[in-house]
Structure 1
Amino acid sequence: MAVCEIKRQPMPHCDPIDLLTQIDRFIAARVDPSFQIFIEQPDIPFQIAFRNPSLIIRRTQMNCTAERVASVNDVLDDFRRMLVLYIDWLHSFTDFQSLPAAVQITLAKARCSNFIWLICAWRTYRAGCSGVCNSRGSYFPCDPQMRCMPDVKNIVCLFMKVMVEEIGRIDLDETEFCLLKAIDLFNYEAIDELEECEKMIIGKKCDKYIKLLYEYILNRFKHFNELDVALRVGKLMQLLGENARIALMGNANIAALDAMGVVELDELNCEVFVKEASPAF
C-alpha cells in the first residue's frame, strides 16, 4: 500500500470519523421496549431479515461482562443478536445506504461473518475473558472441558492469539476499530456477484475510509511521520486479514456442527454462515 501524502490537521468537531463512532455507540445501545410484542421468525431468508431485522430476535441490552460460560442457546442467540446489530449499523450508515438496493444485499451478506468476528474480537479484548465474549453476559471458553459444544476447527485459541492478543499489542482504540469495520465492509475483492462498475463505486468508499484512517493515526500519534502511519495502517490491514481467516473457519465450524447434529440451524443462519466465502485482504 502506498504512503498517502496527508497533512496533519486538527480534526473537526463533527467529522466523518466522529459520526462513525457516534453511530456505533447509538446502535450498540439500542434496546427494544419490554412492552413491545415480538414475533421472532429467524427461519427466514437474509433479504427479508435485512429489511425487517426485528424478525430475527429482540434487541436486548448488550452485556459483555463474560460472567458465565455460554450454553448452546447463548451461542445461537448471540449470532442472531449480532445479525440485528449488523443490520442496524448498515441501515444507519449513509455511505452504505447510498448504494443500489441489490448491491446492499450482496455486500451485506458477504461481509456479515467478518463484521461479527471483528465485534467478537473487540469485546473479548475489552472484557479480558479467557474465551470468546458474547453479548448476553456469557463467553465461549478456551478450555475444551468447559464448552457447550465442540470447536471442530480449533478456532478459539487461534482467535485469541491472532485477534485478541494482537489488538492489545497494537493498542487499537475505539475509533480505529470503527474505521476498520467500514474499510472491511467496502472490501469488494472477494465478491464475485458484483459488476465491475459496482466494484468501482464500492472501492472509492473503501479508499475514503482508508484515507480517514491515515488522517486519524497521524493525529493520534503526534510523533509519527508518514512512514510510521503507513506501517501502522499495514498492521491494521493484517488484522483484517486474520479476521477474514477466522470468519472463514467460523463458517466451516458452524457447517460441521450442523452436519453433526450438534446444532439445528434455521434458514437465516444457513444462508449467512454455512457458505463458501473467500478471504479478504
Structure 2
Amino acid sequence: MNPRAVQSERVEREQNGSPNQIEEDDYKDLSSPDTCSVEIQTDVDEQKPSSNNSAPLPSMELEMAKLSEQIVEMHRAVCSYVDPVTKRENFDMKMETETTKIAFMNAFYNPEMIGPRTPLDITGRRVATVKDVMDEWKRNFVLFSDWLRALPEYNQMSIEDQIVLAKNRYGTFHWWMCANWTVQAGCEGVCYSNGAYFPKQPEAQCIPDVKGSSGRMYDSLSIPIKELNLDETEIVLMLAVIIFSDEITELADLTPAGKEHVRMVGNRFVRMLHHHVNSKEYGEAMENGDDTQNSSESQAAVRIAKMMILLSATTNLVYLTSDNIQLMEVLHVVPSEYLCHEVQFIQNSYETP
C-alpha cells in the first residue's frame, strides 16, 4: 500500500455544519473481543486549524486518535485473556490421552481445543526447548484466533472468507508479534510468549533452523523496529494492516466481496496509522509555523514508508520458511517426528484441497 495514496483529503467545514460523530458504543466493552470495532468515517468534515496556537486539533484527527486508542485497549484486553489454572490443568491431562484430529475450522473457532490461555511471559530468559517451541505455537495460535475474532471487520466477512484469511495470516501475525517481543525482551533470536526464545546461533538451537528464519527475523524486523522505536499504537495498527493487507496471490481464494472488504478495511487501517504518525509531530509544527509543519508531514510520510517495508519483510519471512504452508515457519522446519498431533492436524488441513 502506498501511504501517500491513502492520505485523507482536507474538506472545508460548512458554515453552519458540524462534523459527523463516531458511534459512542464502539469498543465500549473491551472485555469481550466481539464488541471491538474500528469503523471510521472517511467523509468526516474537518475544521480549519486557526492561527491561534491553542486551537484544537481538527475533528477528524481527534476521531482518529480516539479510534487508535480504542484498538490499543482491545489489543491489551486480548493479550490479557488468561484461563483459570484448573482449566489449564484439565487441558494438560486431556492432551495426555486424546489424539483425535480436529479440522482447522473447529480449531480456529474453538481455540481452547489447541491450548489454554496462559499468561504471556515476554522475557526471553531461557533458550527454547522443543517443548517450548510446540507450546509457543499453540499459545500464539490461540492469541491469533482471539485477536481476529475480536474485530467486527473480520466477523462481517462470510465464514468461507474468514477461514481463507485466517489460514493465510497466522504466519505474518506470529512473526510480527515475535519480532516486537524480541525488541521488548532484548534477546538475540525469536522471543516467545512463554519466557523462552529461539536463538540465532545454530549451536544453541533445539531444532535446526535450516533456512535461517530466526536470524532473518532478527535482522529484517526486530532491528528496524527497535531503530524506529515504534510506540504501542504503531505496533497494533501495523498488526491490523498486516492482517488486512490485500495480497492478491495469498488471498486468491477469497470471494469478490471478501477481496473488496479486505481492501477497504486495510486502507482504513493505513489511514488510521497515517493520522497517528502525523499527529506525533503536529503540536510542534503548529508552534513553529507552516514550514515546520510541512517538514513534520514529510517526516511522517518517511516513517510510514519505513513501516510498509516492515510489512514486506514480514511477508517475506513467511515465504522464506514455507513455500505453501503458512504455519511451518513457526516450527523452524521441525521434522515430522517432533510434531505433536495438534500441530499435525492443522498442517494436514492446509494440505487438504
Same fold (TM over 0.5): yes
Cα contact 1:132–1:139 (8 A) shared by 2: yes
Query: RMSD value over aligned CA atoms?
Result: 2.3
Which of the pair has the greater relative contact order for Cα pairs under 8 Å at 6+ separation? 1
- Which residue pairs with 1:234 in the alignment? 305
Tell me the secondary structure at the aligned position of residue 11 of structure 1: helix
Per the TM alignment, residue 47 of structure 1 is displaced from its structure 2 partner at its CA by 0.5
Runs of 4+ displaced beyond 6 Å: none
Per the TM alignment, residue 45 of structure 1 is displaced from its structure 2 partner at its CA by 2.0
Q: Partners of 2:159 and 2:339 in 1: how far apart?
A: 32
Aligned ranges 1:81-96 → 2 under 5 Å: 81-96=139-154
Matched, 1:247 2:318: yes
- Which residue pairs with 1:279 in the alignment? none
Aligned ranges 1:51-200 → 2 under 5 Å: 51-189=109-247, 190-200=250-260
Matched, 1:206 2:257: no
Q: Partners of 2:219 and 2:346 in 1: how far apart?
A: 30
Cα contact 2:120–2:193 (8 A) shared by 1: yes
- Choose 200-209 or 214-223, whichever is displaced more: 214-223
**TM-score relative to the length of structure 2:** 0.71
Per the TM alignment, residue 197 of structure 1 is displaced from its structure 2 partner at its CA by 2.8
Deviations 1:133-163, CA, capped at 9 Å, x for gaps: 1111111112211111101101122211110
Percent of pairs identical after alignment? 28
Cα contact 2:122–2:185 (8 A) shared by 1: yes
Q: Partners of 2:183 and 2:127 in 1: how far apart?
A: 17
**TM-score relative to the length of structure 1:** 0.89
Cα contact 2:208–2:333 (8 A) shared by 1: no
Per the TM alignment, residue 195 of structure 1 is displaced from its structure 2 partner at its CA by 2.5
Q: Partners of 1:182 and 1:30 in 2: how far apart?
A: 19
- Which residue pairs with 1:219 in the alignment? 279
| Structure 1: gaps spanning 5 or more residues | 276-281
Per the TM alignment, residue 69 of structure 1 is displaced from its structure 2 partner at its CA by 0.8
Matched, 1:46 2:104: yes
Tell me the secondary structure at the aligned position of residue 68 of structure 1: strand
Q: Partners of 2:245 and 2:8 in 1: how far apart?
A: 22
Cα contact 2:75–2:236 (8 A) shared by 1: yes
- Which residue pairs with 1:278 in the alignment? none
Cα contact 1:149–1:262 (8 A) shared by 2: no
- Choose 220-229 or 120-129, whichever is displaced more: 220-229
Deviations 1:48-88, CA, capped at 9 Å, x for gaps: 11111100001111011111110001001101100000001
Matched, 1:34 2:105: no
How many residues are matched?
273
Task: Report the AA paired with residue 233 of structure 1.
Answer: I
| Structure 2: gaps spanning 5 or more residues | 11-56, 286-294, 324-328
Aligned ranges 1:261-280 → 2 under 5 Å: 261=337, 263=339, 265-271=343-349
Cα contact 1:6–1:215 (8 A) shared by 2: no
Cα contact 2:82–2:117 (8 A) shared by 1: yes
Deviations 1:245-276, CA, capped at 9 Å, x for gaps: 112223355484335x454542114546x89x
Q: Partners of 1:255 and 1:120 in 2: how far apart?
A: 13
Tell me the secondary structure at the aligned position of residue 138 of structure 1: strand
* Aligned CA distance change for structure 1 residues 18 and 152 (closer, same or farther; 3 Å): same
Cα contact 2:209–2:332 (8 A) shared by 1: no
Q: Partners of 1:271 and 1:226 in 2: how far apart?
A: 46
